[in-house]
Amino acid sequence: MLSGAGREGTRMSNERIVVVGAGMVAHRFVSTLLERDTDGRFEVEVYGEEPYAPYDRVALTSYFQGKSPEDLLLGEPSLWDHDSVTLHRDAPVVAIDREARAVRLADGRDAAYDHLVLATGSYAWAPPVPGVDLPGVFMYRTVDDVARLREWVETRQRFFNRPVRGAVIGGGLLGLEAAGALQSMGATSTVVEFADRLMALQVDDSGGEALKRLIEKLGVTVRTGAATSEVRADRDGNAGTLVFSDGGEQLVDVVVFATGIRPRDDLGRGAGLGIGERGGVLVDDTSLTSDPAISAIGECAAAAADGHLSVGLIAPGNTMADVAVDRLLGGDAHYLGADTATKLKLLGVDVASFGDAFAQTPGALEVVYSDPFSGDYKKLVMTDDASTLLGGMFVGDASAYATLRPMIGAKLPGDPSAWILPEGAVERPELELPDAATVCSCNNVTAGTIRDAVNHEGCHDLGSVKSCTKAGTACGSCLPLVKKVMAGELEKAGLEVSNALCEHFTLSRAQLFSAIHVAELRTFTEVIERFGAGHGCDICKPTVGSILASIHNEHVLGGDRAALQDTNDRVMANMQKDGTYSVVPRIPGGEITPARLKVIAEVAEDFGLYTKITGGQRIDLFGARLEQLPQIWKRLVDAGMESGHAYGKSLRTVKSCVGSTWCRYGVQDSASMAIALELRYRGLRSPHKIKLAASGCARECAEARGKDVGLIATEKGWNVYVGGNGGFTPAHAELLVADVTDEEAFTYIDRYLMLYIRTADRLQRTAPWQAEYEGGLDEIRRVVVEDSLGICAELDAHMAHHLDTYEDEWKAVLSDPERLQQFTSFVNAPDTADPSLAYVEQRGQIRPATAEERASGAVLIAPARLEVHA
Amino acid sequence: MTVTAASSVASSRVVVCDYDRLSPELGVAALVEGVQIALFRLWDGSVHAVQNRCPFSGAQVMSRGITGDRGGVPTVASPIYKQVFSLLDGSCLVTMDKEPVAGAAADLVVYPVSIDNGQVIIDLAGGE
């Protein structure tokens, strides 16, 4: 019996659930419980031994691509702020007292439970070979494992001043992930597999052979059928040589063991719960252990439906969590066993298998396609009459996986080989998924649920279907299929998936962009005659104006274009609520001399403008009247300043920290970089505003990952992040390329921005554009880095044109009497200010008077007092 | 639009500016006996006059809106919150789910416009 001392306080009204383990499955359990426990019946205490909130262990390898542990955190951080949830980090549980219904923490405290959930996961297992505990030998399981591995590789690299020699023991999923991680750190890597093929659980001999060839092409050495008998130390006592049982040897500087996982069932064992023969706490199909007050979910559990074996995949763990929640709330859900279908991208090679991939069903037929040139290997397993799909396996090209996996047990129309021949070789028949088919296996969402969301919940775009059904919100691999099911349903409902810009153009913005580009049109009149109808409107006119500006970079007020521009672009200032404007001169990178600051201050003072520092490290001057804009800009331009384009759908600012020139921590000159970026992309018209930032070190003071393009300095150069947005739907930018030089950074950003400008929808910011781009960021990277579409030269030329033709649009207007005419208050009284303007004083500056203040006569400052003849 | 040949102008009719001063589809504001008016010359040469005050913000800005058409009806969109109004009768065609400011009607007052001898004339009394 554990002592009652130090018990944590309880709220008597609620039932208390204690969750041991704070991994992915624990996260799933808590988020599902919160969502479904609408009466607030339960409160949850989660005890995790790691110092982190639950993170995405499946994505561990992305840690090597520059992601920080915070990026891997699962779901909304606000989950852990919920009143009825408490997350205890660094809090290992050491024992369970079933009689007292309490768990004992390592620090001696107890925590009482009404129901206990074990979600302790598994640990990495290494064979007991000599030398497995030498410095330089690592496991691959936790964020701390990979952090230590990274530190070791970087230290050894500096020490040897040559690429570090790496070896991975284990050629399964984790082993190949680890090999990729070593490569991304600049180490060489050899994969050592005991079995005679890689990924023995997922692919057959031919598949393994194809995988080996594809991976070797990427520079990874593969040794199959090799048993490691010892890790021998070098003279410093670090891992130095791998010794194989056949006597062979290999020199190494770092070794990663990825030889499998074992369930962490020690708490259950200690408490006398039933334990499976090969480990794992035994549970029935309701996730309950032999004690009805204790559930076990995820890899620490051995479920009856899985033959009392622990399954090392996330999807079944999530299902067990959902079942446990359902049962606690009085439901009758069952766990029906793991769907072991997997699709992985290992070192950039797609590997997928599903259903009866090894053709163990009696009479099963295998339809195989193998292409020694591309390296692809594809196989479908069909019933003996070749009509019904039983399973399949893909190595290399797994494009058909998402469509076929839900079709297990269903009839495949036509010749099954259509699905494994290269795409486009034979037309693939249209498949209608059954309602019961699982589309998203991570979150167990069926086609029927998605159809329901479209038909009854009013979800008519991918974003709302995702947030409504949760489909595609975990690994995202099913998104193309989700989109297809949604589009099919919309079409059936007679709801056209319309991309039309407005009633005048049936084309989408992206289509219109290429149409105008190809036809080399220069005026709105030409564009609407050629591709539209009617006379245009406030939607299509600014869009066409922006497209013309993006393509030709001619003055926004030239030709017939002034009438196309939205309010702000038309007068090159930002309209405020009372019809006056704010003025923002460009301050590249936020760097400004005192002399220029003084000019801005004098202008603000002389014109009586309300002055405020913006979020983009520059200065906003409010309350300028239309007819004052040219006078204000004349003084700014004379002092050497130029338009800040604060009014445009275009580059706004490039935020920076001071960087290595002054900062003790800076590793690159981020201020100079920010200025170079701002001068490079200034005036670039785009589908929406664009913001950039450059940080001088990983502390990220410029908040670059909240920007459309963000640079973060590394010892070797810059990590370039893309697709970050603030605003209505915030998003963190994702890594496009790592450790690039200034010049490389410019090249990739040039192409990224041009691709965005050409293909995004009207008013679509980079984050949703990137998410909806076919193939996502990976595909964008292929286009802009590897030139997979062969358009990089054109994108580069387009940006070069922009750079060649840039002019300050305010300076150009000041020297053009005709355009200046547009800056008059009244056509019949050009010197009269708008008499309706009224201001009051606040903190020593002006602000527009409210309706009440106008009515009460409390207006302190009438516009006449602001009249200035500069 | 009516084009009159009369050289004398009735008292409520005010000469505002030369027709040539108006650029196609770029509105201008006029201050006529204390009233602010927005004037638009459209693609077909016609001239339309409406109140300059935007009913949904109270600001005097309609002259700075984008012109166009909705189903063939010539329109102007408020530059503040993007409501769309008919230039023929001033009716608000798109409210953007907003209410006008207190005391304002959603529709715009439209003023009859005539062109005489190259001059734009507005009939203030004819506003409706």
CB contact (8 A) between residue B64 and residue A567: yes
As a whole number, the mean pLDDT across chain A is 88
Local structure of A861: helix, strand or coil: strand
CB atoms within 10 A of CB A649: 24
- Please report the pLDDT score of residue A247 as a whole number: 86
* Of B16, B53, B82, Cβ closest to residue A827: B16
- What is the spatial distance between Cα A773 and Cα A510, in angstroms, rounded to a whole number? 12
- Please report the pLDDT score of residue A386 as a whole number: 83
The bridge status of strand A690-695 relative to strand A709-713 is parallel
- Please report the pLDDT score of residue A310 as a whole number: 87
Helices (H) and strands (E) in chain A, counts: 24, 38
Q: Flag residues of chain A having pLDDT under 50.
A: 1-12, 863-870
pTM: 0.58
Measure A93 CA to nearest chain B CA, in Å.
Answer: 55
Chain A residues within an 8 Å CB radius of B21: 827
| Residue of chain B nearest A528, judged by CA positions | B68
- Please report the pLDDT score of residue A474 as a whole number: 62
- What is the spatial distance between Cα A511 and Cα A506, in angstroms, rounded to a whole number? 9
- Please report the pLDDT score of residue A477 as a whole number: 63
For chain B, percent helix, then strand, then coil, each to nearest 5?
A: 5, 45, 50
pLDDT digits (tens, 9 = 90+) for B38-78: 999 999 999 999 999 999 999 999 999 999 999 899 999 99
- Please report the pLDDT score of residue A337 as a whole number: 82
* Of A538, A567, A827, Cβ closest to residue B68: A538
CB contact (8 A) between residue A575 and residue B36: no
- Please report the pLDDT score of residue B5 as a whole number: 40
CB contact (8 A) between residue B69 and residue A536: yes
- Please report the pLDDT score of residue A765 as a whole number: 92
Q: Which residues pair with A426 in a beta bridge?
A: A423
- Give A39's contacts (C-beta < 8 A, 6+ positions apart): none
- Give A667's contacts (C-beta < 8 A, 6+ positions apart): A660, A696, A697, A713, A714, A715
| Residue of chain B nearest A834, judged by CA positions | B60
- Please report the pLDDT score of residue A5 as a whole number: 40
- What is the spatial distance between Cα A569 and Cα A575, in angstroms, rounded to a whole number? 10
CB contact (8 A) between residue B66 and residue A541: yes
- What is the spatial distance between Cα A477 and Cα A443, in angstroms, rounded to a whole number? 12
CB contact (8 A) between residue A534 and residue B17: no
